[in-house]
Amino acid sequence: MTATTGGSAGALPPRTASASDTDSDTPAAAGGPDAAVRAMRRATDFLLARQDAEGWWKGDLETNVTMDAEDLLLRQFLGIRDEETTRAAALFIRGEQREDGTWATFHGGPGELSTTIEAYVALRLAGDAPDAPHMARAAQWVRAQGGIAAARVFTRIWLALFGWWKWEDLPELPPEVIWLPKWVPLNIYDFGCWARQTIVPLTIVSAQRPVRPAPFPLRELHTDSDRPRPARRRLPPAGWGGAFQQLDRLLHGYHRVAPRWLRRAAMNTAARWIIERQENDGCWGGIQPPAVYSLIALHLLGYDLEHPVMRAGLASLDRFAVWREDGSRMIEACQSPVWDTCLATIALADAGLPADHPQLVRAADWMLGEEIVRPGDWAVRTKRLAPGGWAFEFHNDNYPDIDDTAEVVLALRRVRHPDPERTDRAVARAVRWTLGMRSRDGAWAAFDVDNTSPFPNRLPFCDFGEVIDPPSADVTAHVVEMLAVEGLAHDPHTRRGVEWLLAAQEPNGSWFGRWGVNHVYGTGSVVPALTAAGLPAAHPAIRRAVAWLQTVQNDDGGWGEDLRSYREEQWIGRGASTASQTAWALIALLAAGERESKAVERGVEWLAGTQREDGSWDEPYFTGTGFPWDFSINYHLYRQVFPLTALGRYVHGDPYRDRTAAPPQGS
């Protein structure tokens, strides 16, 4: 990718903004239903051609350059950084730099301090001189934002590994936390699974406080090179902020007096916890950050690089690398084959591909083979629940998620598999597991039950991203839709989910999107679920959602929403039109019976008119969410599967019209 200048943090885009820079026909010239059919067929051919021989699909998962910078820092720490990897990573990082010298966390977003610091350090490792113009611009901007002292905790941990920051000036996280029982606040199972997998190895790193010789100084990133460590700002003793700051001071004191035998025992327990959760492919949780910190932690405890655990872990990280035609190397934070495959299967079925098409059968076969039938960390709070779900990644048996499980069931039900009993058994296990993963409030989170403790987010250590996993509207909607398709629209679990969704609707008529950007995603998920569960199109909640979608449609006929909507209300439903977000809006409107509306007509025209000749869409904008605002994702297959789903439902109608039932009176 080339460098992007992005937009300012405060300027809203005009309604005429368009995300497409292609040379295809304009939406106005695309023309009606025939154009929709042509676009659908071209998109079908494009998607079919990209299926792996084993049956899965996987698009690149693009995040930001901290993944690439931290990969180089890890290799520097372990002494395994090589010239080819460094050159390729630096080429990618340089290409992502904005004209003002900064790096953003999403396309078109503002410069971000911690990301810019980590990218700068990585380029220093690659040999870029601090007085080079692109480096000088970055350093000047960093200083203007407060320097290293203002960076997030995780960035300063990376710098502390090389002596560029003092361990004493970082929040303390003792390894003894591994022993806290699950009823004690701040035990490891109070954290979301992604945070839990990261925090456990970091407790070892925090206890060891290693420092490798710095290959160069970083005085240019401090606001005052003679005094790089500012005095800590004390919060008022009253209130949670002051209480947790006092707790951090106590933990720093404990670090100085902790008995060695006790600390060693805690670190060994944490190490066993880490090793037990290493996946068959060598990774941890199928995501890059826990793998990186686990490798550092185990190495500090004496595991050499030839140890099987370390070899497998390092090899797994190499599989996260995407080598590009220009010779650059991008690191994926995660890989999404299960998610991409179930969404692609649904899209192709909606586009009219026969249910017994060989490629759909291959996809179903592969998904059935990915079912997880052993307990994972979720069982800590649901011990009596039998397993039966799917994860997001190739290998992540410890952490299947409810969202993937619901969508895989929907996909499997769209395929006529030659062994229907096999499908039925897998679906039955998945439904039972999903019902057992419902939280007390009647809704579903992504990975765990009732992971809603208010304490983890208050820790000074946790200043980046979500660290708990409460129920969300988008996950709950996908479960409700799946249960309705399975004939459980009247089941009390489904009805409670519907009630939760109705109560969660925003005053403007939309729903908040936890795992996609943002209210357009939430609304695009919830409306089809409610109609599948039997709510009529005339229901007030659905009419409010339709009205909101019509209000935020762009002048060019598409829909878009910027990541800044997670922080700034004026961005809600606002942003340059994108293929995936336009599709989400259309899917909701079509489910609400709006096929003949002008809004749907214009949205379909936009999709048809911005499609490339090869059947794909261009989408540089990030429409996926890891942590709202803090960590954003560009799923490269979203731009393909969701438009195809929307076009298919526009051409062929509601895929569930004969498979769902009306709710009881009063819903």
State the Cα torsion 91-93-96-99 to the nearest 10°: -90
Rg of the chain, C-alpha, whole Å: 25
Residue 624, H or E segment: strand 624-627
Residue 270, H or E segment: helix 260-276
- Cβ atoms 646, 591 nearer than 8 A: no
**What number of CA atoms fall less than 13 Å from residue 34's CA on the CB side?**
3
At residue 618, what is the residue type? Answer: D
- Cβ atoms 21, 615 nearer than 8 A: no
- Cβ atoms 402, 514 nearer than 8 A: no
The DSSP 8-state label assigned to residue 12 in this structure reads P
Three-state SS letters, 60-121: CEECCCHHHHHHHHHHHHHCCCCHHHHHHHHHHHHHCCCCCCCCECCCCCCECHHHHHHHHH
**Other Cβ atoms within 10 Å of 36 Cβ, number:** 21
Buried b (16+ CB within 10 A) or exposed e, 139-169: bebbbebebbbbbbbbbbbbbbbbebbebee
- The whole-angstrom separation of Cα 393 and Cα 375 is 17
Token pair 């950084």: residue: 81
Six token digits for residue 539 = 């229901």
Q: What is the DSSP string of 431-477?
A: HHHHHHT--TTS---SS-SSB--SSGGGSTT--SS--SB---HHHHH
Tell me whether residue 60 is one of the annotated catalytic residues: no
Query: Exactly one of 340, 403, 448, 469 is catalytic; which is it?
Result: 403
C-alpha triplet 481, 433, 514: angle, nearest 5°: 50
- The whole-angstrom separation of Cα 63 and Cα 71 is 14
Taking the alpha carbons at both ends of the chain, their separation in whole angstroms is 49
**105 CB contacts (<8 Å, ≥6 apart)?**
63, 64, 112, 115, 563, 630, 631, 632
Six token digits for residue 344 = 């692609």
- The whole-angstrom separation of Cα 495 and Cα 505 is 16
- Cβ atoms 55, 363 nearer than 8 A: yes
Which residues are catalytic, by number?
A: 403
